[in-house]
Chains A and B, each alone.
Chain A
Amino acid sequence: MKLELITLSGPKLQEDVYEVILPTGDGEIAVYQHHMPLVTTVVPGVITVRRKKEDSDAARDVFATNGGIAEIGGSQIRLLVDEADHADEIVEQEAAEALAAAKKLKEEAKDELELERAEALIDRQAVRLKVAELRRHGRRPRV
């Protein structure tokens, strides 16, 4: 199954994979080869990619995303998300600081637009922090 993970800052991943777990509006789904054609929303959460069938859980690639859209059809899956940060790219402390800053932004928000933005920022940083924490504990991430 060909996975294309495309973000606003360029394509992150374009390769054959065995399994993709992604957070959708209706809950987490796992996608394998020959999945039925599906268009669904991706919500802020963790995308997990297993490249080969025999890969262990710990060997999977984990991305924090802030949501987007997934187009699944036959032997390909296209994930169009604004951002996808690989667990290795996230520094836990930075994510924690960013989350605190986002929360502060929410308290200080003056209008609806600012509030929405702050909430989106909180979602995003919370997911990043989660991914970073889970990597530290060496556990498989669950959201």
Chain B
Amino acid sequence: MANTIAIKRRIGSVKNTRQITKAMELVAASRMRKAQEAAQRSRAYSQIARELLTSLSNITEVSEHSLFKKRTIKARLLVVITSDRGMAGAYNSNALRAYLAELKADKSAGVKSYTIAIGQKAAQLVSRLPQTEVVGVYKHLPEDLQVHDLQPLIREAAKMFTDETVDKVDVIYTHFYSSINQQPNVLHLLPAGFAETEISAQLNLAEFEPSVEHVLGSAAKKLIDCQLWQAMLESVASEQSMRMMAMKSATDNATDLVDDLTLAFNNIRQASITQELAEITGGAEALND
């Protein structure tokens, strides 16, 4: 009977775990919905902001602006976005693997790397890395993140770029393609409008009011803010979605385990009953003889 007691305990503990993973799954699902909506809502804005930045960057007057100026890349700032907590499947390890690949690329190209880490998981990793200089760590960002929560980070990044400490700022985040597909991605933040695209003829002729500097000074900053903000939203949606999937498979696994254990338990119980019966009938037979 000792064996059945052990199995019974095991079943109990697996059931407890299942309850927890189930609850985490539900929490992640509701947070994912919210995060997903937020990410999708602002996608139109950031898409157009990106287009605008790109076409602006092709205008000669603009390309000399401090936030748009393309320089030879001698140093690069990497902003890596991860979560504070684990249990989100491959979310953090995917993002960090992409980050390490970028670091490696920098090293082989002889580019100096600086890092800003967002999230506990990235913070833990970068503190152990000798090949990069950590300029900032942002942990425990509030649950209902607002655009202004990222201000200090953006300021730091923009300052490093304008005083030419770094020649490029890239963000490593996880893009939310769908609730079953999320991929780490590299976003070029600065110089603004990094991608080469056709310049729209319209913009080329456009007047800037009050002046190019003024428009760029206020608007470009906003558009850049928005890029980072979008990356952050995408990451949060990915995180919650991956956590939900991880917790769902954990719950499924626990259910399978409980089934297997219950079967084993019943087997042993039945075996012991059969054995007992055999012993009783055996004993009775012996008395009859």
Contacts and interface: CB of A to CB of B under 8 A. Distances in A.
B269 interface: no
Interface stretch (A55-63, A66-74, A126-134): A66-74
Interface stretch (B38-46, B107-115, B125-133, B179-187): B38-46
Contact of A80 (B40, B49, B152): B49
A33 interface: no
Interface string A81-93: 0100000000000
Contacts of A78: 48, 52
B147 A40 contact: no
Given A39-B206, A78-B48, A117-B148, A9 B218 contact: no
Nearest to B208: A39
Interface string B150-190: 01100000000000000000000000000000000000000
B210 A25 contact: yes
Contacts of A25: 209-210, 214, 218
A111 to B, nearest CB: 10
Interface in B189-221: 200, 202-203, 205-210, 214-215, 218-219
A41 B44 CA distance: 19
A26 B148 contact: no
Given A37-B203, A40-B215, A69-B52, A9 B41 contact: yes
B219 A41 contact: yes
A69 B219 contact: yes
A46 B41 CA distance: 23
Interface residues of A, number: 28
B152 A6 contact: no
Nearest to B204: A37
A39 B215 contact: yes
Contact of B202 (A6, A10, A74): A74
A117 B282 CA distance: 88
Contacts of A36: 207
Contact of A73 (B44, B45, B203): B203
Contact of A39 (B45, B48, B152, B207): B207
Contacts, number: 84
Given A41-B215, A73-B202, A9 B207 contact: no
B223 interface: yes
Contact of B209 (A7, A24, A68, A113): A24
A37 B205 contact: yes
B210 to A, nearest CB: 5
Interface in A12-57: 24-26, 36-41
Interface string B208-251: 11100011001100110010010000000000000000000000
Given A9-B41, A68-B222, A74-B202, A38 B48 contact: no
Contact of A69 (B42, B205, B222): B222
Contacts of B210: 25-26, 40-41
A10 B148 CA distance: 18
B202 A37 contact: yes
A76 to B, nearest CB: 9
Given A8-B147, A39-B215, A40-B209, A80 B45 contact: yes
23 contacts: A6-B48, A7-B45, A8-B42, A8-B226, A8-B229, A9-B41, A37-B202, A37-B206, A39-B208, A39-B209, A39-B215, A40-B208, A40-B209, A40-B215, A69-B222, A71-B206, A72-B206, A73-B202, A73-B203, A74-B202, A78-B48, A80-B48, A82-B147
Interface of A: 4, 6-11, 24-26, 36-41, 67-69, 71-74, 78, 80, 82, 113, 117
Given A10-B41, A25-B210, 8 more contacts: A10-B40, A10-B42, A25-B214, A37-B207, A38-B206, A39-B208, A80-B52, A82-B222
Interface of B: 40-42, 44-45, 48-49, 52, 56, 147-148, 151-152, 200, 202-203, 205-210, 214-215, 218-219, 222-223, 226, 229
